[in-house]
Amino acid sequence: MRAVRTALHGGLAGRRVQALAIGLVLLASAAASTLAAGLLSASNAPFDHAFAAQHGAQAALAVNAAKAPAGELAATARLAGVTAAAGPFAEATVTASAAIPDTPGVVFQAFTLAGRSSPGGPVDDIVLTAGHWPTGTGQIVVSRDLADTGSGASMSPGVVITLTGVPGTPKLTVVGVGVSVTNTADGWVLPAQMTSLGPPPTEQMLYRFASAGSGAAVNADVAAVTRALPAGSVAGAESWLAVKAQENENIVPWVPFLVTFGVIGLAMSVLIEVNVVSGAVTAGTRRIGVLKAVGFTPAQVVWVYVLQVAVPGVIGVAGGAVIANLLAAPVLGQTSQVFEVAPQSIPLSVDLTVPLAMLALAGIAALVPASRAGRLSATTAIATGRAPRPSHGYAAHRLLGEARLLPRPVTIGLAGPFARPGRMLVTLAAILFGALAVTFGTGLGTSLNRVGSDLALAGTEHVEIGLAGQSAQQPSPGQPSPGQPSAAAQQAGMAAVIRAQPGTLRYVTESDDRLGVTGMAGTASVTAFGGDASWIGYALISGHWYGAGGAVVNTSFLHATGKRMGDTFTLTDDGRAVTLKIAGEVFLPGNDPQVLTNLSSVTTLGPSGAGPQMFYVGLRPGVNAQSYQNAVFAKLGPGDYHQVGSGSGILLQIISGLVLILTLLLVVVAAFGVLNTVVLMTRERVHDLGVFKAVGMTPRQTITMVVTTVAATGLIAGLIAVPAGIALHHAILPIMGNGAQTDFPPAIYNVYSPAELVLLALTGLVIAVVSALGPASWAARTRTAIALRAE
Amino acid sequence: MDALVQLSDVTKQYDDGKSPAVAHVAMEVGHGESVAVMGPSGSGKSTLLNLIAGLDRPSSGTVRVGNQEVSKLSETGAARFRRRQVGIIFQFFNLLDDMTVADNVLLPAQLAGVPAAKARARLDELLTALRIEKHRNTYPARLSGGERQRVAIARALVNRPPLLLADEPTGALDTATGDEIGELLLDLNSSGQTLILVTHDPALAARYAKRVIRIVDGQIATAAAPA
């Protein structure tokens, strides 16, 4: 064993660069694969994971505080079947307004406030994503859903919320942002704050049960709790299954692309690692021969070489796991925003399993060539280690040597990959995956930008102004807050202001209602425009914008009704009916069936709500939307309007950022794979490099030769990656669309311009060349006399 | 006689802290001369050859070959110098195994940008002169030691360098083959080729060099005509 230790020590000391390369490649592979597995884990039932981690409430009961004393409520925690309970927490639903800088008119019509002394507890841990828990009265933690007001502004710590309609209209300063996995409240204050608001109308009780896997089980659990309380005291109960269904609807569209990146990352890591480790052992074949010549047994040889990989490997995978966890913080942070769950970290099981698996893989990758070399005779091993195996790449050298148009260093470099075809195939695969990620990521990023533009109706320069009482958070059509003018007065006033504004080119009103559809269960969301709305910029998946008696509908509507383009359908309301013809399929994701039509087409159904809820205003060329909006708001009364915005823009920005980060990560891993391959190759051929330099190869020619060795591989990988990436994009996008219950307009698929395709085709070449420059420069700097002495 | 090679107070000290491999060496080799640098193993004779070839740089002193001060050349300059001014023959041939005889010989000409037709003509000339034309498309591994050294000599001469450096050119060959190579070098010198031969073999030096420089522990011990 001492001989093995001595040989191991000598091997590590004598091949420090190789040990470093193995350590680094294992570091990169372990980091990439741990992160990839972490992403896959985050993509796998993220709600369930967050629910388990945060001890989510399987049922949240609102109990009439006047009918059920606190003692009786607390006693329900000890009922059979209840495994954990939290509360009672005083709860109130209030109206509130927030003063967010540069964001006028943020009003919350129904703001659920709960009094809790701490964020933790046996049920429903509130995970703080910013700030801290209230330390006194006058402070509030708002939910992350609420913090994103939907108007592009964020309710971060420091913002002041005024509670209206309660004694003293108290002002609360936001001190934190928190996430409750089952959305038990919009804001949390200390119990003392709730006391200052007067006797609480309801108390909140949160439960976990021994059995709550189905709706029936949760209903039975809730019924048991209800029976234990005074009759009529339970005002309402919310099941975690309803929240889960809602959350999963938001999550499902984003899972496929995260899975794709995760799988690519894992595949690349494995390929690169096997390539480098087996190459490193093969490069040591001559030394194996020497060890055998001095009496090492085959088993001892195998031990030496496996340990020679394992020592730097252990350091590498440990470092890789640490880096993965550091990188995971922002990546999984963004993922958690996408999934609308509390920030996650890489599970401990992944942290342990993946690095160990990578280490085991490295061991196997070393074991195979070491065992083969261990079985060789000493003289054969020495001979094999000294010269490249015959017949590999010779013909390529000969043929390329005839290519007189290319400089000789280029033809030598081009022939290089043929000496080790297996290694170059694996390197090609690594670059291919990297370039594939770039093509896919670029396409996906553009598609998501277009989705964002289409959803934000960004195709035209316009502003959207909602009437007061139609808050983005809590729409309640036609129900302005106390003290606000009537809906009709608001509409007339707003129309007058808009008409008078010089920047107005045109405007159209929007009325929203929910109406029945003959032959479809439930209701559809019907948006009726008062005038020509074709200019607004709704993207059409197929067909055309509606004319008289026509409508455009979303994919969900088509699925729910089984209708097709050109079919007719009947909207119903209170016994009245109107039949419309489907002119087009409009891009409006989600599982809510939606119909867009002209107000005149549905007037026979009676007035929609209390009339228009929103104005779309098209602006004259050159008019600044923000300036226009500010001018309109200045002329309107303070309670007459609210700003309209969509949170989806923020979500898409987050996802686009995530796509960019993941793409860059995979490119870095691919580049690292190429770097290590070139290092290995130049180390193997260092003697030949000495010969080249001795007969007059200049440093620049040396760099050209080394870079060219992987350049062709990179170019080929890039050329393959472009169609493969486009195919992947076209395959993943419909899956994402399926999750979002929508098809996509053709423009969302056709995102690759010819110029972009040319650049993308060069991605592999760029990855290869940039990665090879380092070792190529090293080769150029290597002193000729020393290189000539190398074996 | 004009000096083709001039070394003035040349010292080569490696970073290993040991005594210099070459210390304060001064020597000259004239055009057309045949000089043997002799000394025991580790005496610094190969280092001296590397310094003349521009494969290594002296720690101090100057090395001049023809009009060029080799010791001051950049890496690129040294590479260009080696292409045109020197041909090097190594003990273990240093042929590239994955290239044919023809490709090995042509390599310095191709790196120097010599027109293909001209390089091919020179190749034919050398292969014929060195009697290896039938091995033009053979790979070095299939050649005998003597044939490999002939290929190495052809490669060294392809760009018609004024100076030929040979580092133990017969060291890896049997006696008969070594004699053949020695005769070949002698013929080349007879036709005007300047030759610096590094060897530890006094017989070889005596037979093929007109002047012998003995080097011991990095310093020139004697410089004289061979015995």
Nearest partner of B88 among A693, A699, A782, judged by Cα: A693
Considering only the beta carbons, identify the residue of B90, B112, B116 that sits closest to A404. B116
Write down the residue that tokens 């700003």 correspond to.
A643
Residues of B in contact with A394 (CB under 8 A): 98-99, 139
Cα A518 from Cα A529, distance rounded (Å): 22
**Residues A562, B80: Cα–Cα separation, whole Å:** 78
Q: How far is A4 from chain B (nearest CA, A)?
A: 28
Inter-chain touch A390–B103, beta carbons under 8 Å: no
Cβ-Cβ pairs closer than 8 A, A with B, add up to: 91
For B226, phi then psi, to 5°, come to -60, 150
**Closest Cα of chain B to A787: distance in Å?**
10
d(CA A675, nearest CA chain B) in Å: 24
DSSP state of B40: -
Amino acid at A777: S
Tell me the β-bridge partners of B212. Answer: B36, B224
- Select from A276, A275, A414 the least CA-distant residue to A711: A414
B79, A691: Cβ pair inside 8 Å? Answer: no
The alpha-carbon gap from A691 to the nearest alpha carbon of chain B, in Å, equals 6
Q: What residues in B contact A688, CB-CB < 8 Å?
A: 96
CB contact under 8 A, A699 and B79: yes
Report yes or no: A709 and A416 within 8 Å, Cβ to Cβ: yes
Assess contact for A790 and A712: CB atoms under 8 A.
no
Closest-CA distance of chain A to residue B73, Å? 12
Residue B144 DSSP SS3 = coil
Query: What does each C-alpha distance from A693 to A88, A220, B55 come to in angstroms?
Result: 82, 84, 8
- Which CATH number belongs to the domain containing residue B41 in this structure? 3.40.50.300
Give B32→chain A minimum CA distance, Å. Answer: 22
Residues of chain A with pLDDT under 70: 1-3, 7, 10-15, 17, 42-45, 100-110, 148-154, 199-200, 247-252, 331, 334-344, 378-391, 458-463, 465-487, 606-611, 637-651, 790-791
Section B106-112 average pLDDT: 91
Residue A689, H or E segment:
helix A686-694
Determine which helix (DSSP H) or strand (DSSP E) holds A109, and give its type and residue range: strand A103-115
Sign of CA dihedral A177, A182, A186, A187: negative
In residues, how long is chain B? 227
Any idea how long chain A is? 791
HSE value, Cβ hemisphere, 13 Å, CA-based, for A550: 18
Strands (E), A547-654: 550-554, 568-573, 576-586, 594-598, 614-619, 641-643
Angle at A614 between CA A612 and CA A620, to 5 degrees: 120
pLDDT-derived band at B227 (thresholds 50, 70, 90) equals: low
Written as six digits, the tokens of A693 are: 């330099």
Determine the pLDDT at residue A479.
46
Taking residue A694's Cβ as centre, other Cβ atoms within 10 Å add up to 25
Residue B68: is its pLDDT beyond 80?
yes
CA dist A237 and A239 (Å) reads 7
Closest CB from B50, B79, B84 relative to A698: B79
Return the beta strands (E) in A614-770 as ranges: 614-619, 641-643
Q: Do B90 and A788 touch (CB under 8 A)?
A: yes
Cis (ω within 30 of 0) for the bond into A88?
A: yes
Cβ burial, residue A661 (10 Å; 0-12/13-18/19+): middle
Phi, psi of A42 (to 5 degrees): -65, -30
Helix ranges (DSSP H) in A545-647: 555-561, 625-635
In the structure, what pLDDT confidence band is assigned to residue B206 with cuts at 50, 70 and 90? confident
- Look up the domain containing B122 and give its range: 3-224
Q: Mutation target for A interface from B74, B98, B142: give the one with most A CBs within 10 A.
A: B98
Residue A408 and residue B111: Cβ atoms within 8 Å? yes
Residue A783 touches chain B, beta carbons under 8 Å: yes
**Nearest-neighbour CA in chain B from A370: distance (Å):** 25
Which one-letter amino acid corresponds to residue A418? F
Q: Do A398 and B141 touch (CB under 8 A)?
A: no
Closest CA to A749 of A765, A761, A737: A737
Residue in the block written with tokens 């942002």: A177
Q: What angle do CA A301, A271, A385 make, to 5 degrees?
A: 35
* Model pLDDT, residue A468: 57
Q: Tell me how far apart the terminal alpha carbons of chain B are, to the nearest angstrom.
A: 22
Q: pLDDT tens for residues B114-171? A: 998 999 999 999 999 888 999 999 999 889 988 999 999 999 999 999 999 999 888 8
Distances (CA, A) of B68 to A341, A695, B5, B212: 73, 18, 10, 24
Contact residues on chain A for B12, CB-CB shorter than 8 A: none
CB pair distance less than 8 Å for A696 and B98: no
Among A255, A129, A181, A153, which residue's Cα sits nearest to residue A649? Answer: A153
A323-344 residue pLDDT tens: 888 877 776 776 666 555 666 6
Orientation of helix A46-53 relative to helix A240-251, angle to 10°: 140
Query: Tokens 């707003």 label which residue?
Result: A494
Q: What is the structure's pLDDT at A323?
A: 83
Q: What is the structure's pLDDT at A710? A: 93
Contact assessment for residue B226 and residue B205, using Cβ atoms and an 8 Å cutoff: yes
In DSSP terms, A208 is beta-bridged to A84
Q: Mean pLDDT throughout B175-196?
A: 87
Q: Do B75 and A398 touch (CB under 8 A)?
A: no
End-to-end CA distance of chain A: 28
Q: What is the pLDDT of residue B1?
A: 54
Q: Which two tokens stand for residue A12?
A: 């590590």
Question: Do B107 and A699 lie within an 8 Å CB cutoff?
Answer: no
Over the stretch A204-213, which tens digit does the pLDDT of each residue have?
Answer: 888 998 888 8
Can you tell me the distance from the alpha carbon of A491 to that of A185, in angstroms, rounded to the nearest whole number? 33
Q: ipTM of this predicted complex? A: 0.90
pTM more than 0.90: no
Inter-chain residue contact B76 with A698, CB threshold 8 Å: yes
- Percent helix, strand, coil in chain A, to 5, is 55, 20, 25
φ/ψ bin of A406: left (φ > 0), alpha (ψ from -120 to 50), beta (otherwise): beta
A693 interaction partners in chain B (CB closer than 8 Å)? 55, 79, 82
Q: Which residues of A434-472 are buried (b: 16+ CB within 10 A; e: fewer)?
A: bbbbbbbbbbbbbbbbbbbbbbebeeebbbbbbbbbbbb
pLDDT value for A387: 44
Predicted local distance difference test score (pLDDT) of residue A1? 61
Residue A635 CA to residue A502 CA, distance in Å, equals 13
Do residue B98 and residue A699 have CB atoms under 8 angstroms apart? no
Specify the number of domains making up chain B: 1
Retrieve residue B183's tokens: 């005769």
Report the C-alpha gap between A592 and A598 in whole angstroms: 19
Asked if A210 reaches chain B (Cβ–Cβ under 8 Å), the answer is no
pLDDT value of position A383: 62
